[in-house]
Amino acid sequence: EAREVLRRELGVRDLNSLFEKLSDEPVASASIGQVYRGTLRDSQKDVAVKVQRPGILGEIALDLYVLRLLTPIQTKLQNAVNRQPTTQEDIDTAVSLVDEWGRGFVAETDYRLEARNTIQFEEAMRKRKLDAVCAPAVVEELVRDKVLVTEWVEGTRLDRDASSDVPRLCGVAINAYLTMLLDTGVLHCDPH
């Protein structure tokens, strides 16, 4: 299915016209997409190819619809357990929170927005001289609604790294988060 999404989104019949290599199996998976490792044919650059799961937006819409229907019931039950009266304002506030969460979740399916945010994040870190923090370079000509291609970045999870450099890197991460929260106003919540 992922290869069909790639062909359709990238407008090619044969993925070999773009990729010298492309893994058959995903190297990473998440709720809305899968990541494959590839090598671009023209530049020989190793890349991460993120492909959105087919039909995921419909699944999200259904989940949000059901959650929105259940929110007033959950609010009443929660208040009853806590021996609190439930007002219409309580229900409206809870539904508003679900709606806001839903808008953010739906935005996660916008790979063009993710590409723009990745580029802006990288620029913000460079501008602030946080050179130890990076984002993979976006291959802009291969960004589509359901496909995002970036450079492949090798790394090690800090929680699995035995290096003596881990405390310094944790400090870098904290500095980056504080910079995002207090300076840029945009929080990148998917660090790797």
Q: Which residue type is seen at 38?
A: G
Q: Nearest CA to 137 among 157, 162, 119?
A: 119
Q: Are 48 and 151 in contact (CB under 8 A)?
A: yes
Give the DSSP letter of residue 80: H
Catalytic residue among 24, 131, 159, 190: 190
Task: Please tell me the distance from the alpha carbon of residue 182 to that of residue 166, in angstroms, as a whole number.
Answer: 24
Specify whether 190 is catalytic: yes
Q: Are 32 and 109 in contact (CB under 8 A)?
A: yes
Task: Please tell me the distance from the alpha carbon of residue 140 to that of residue 112, in angstroms, as a whole number.
Answer: 9
Active-site annotation, residues? 190
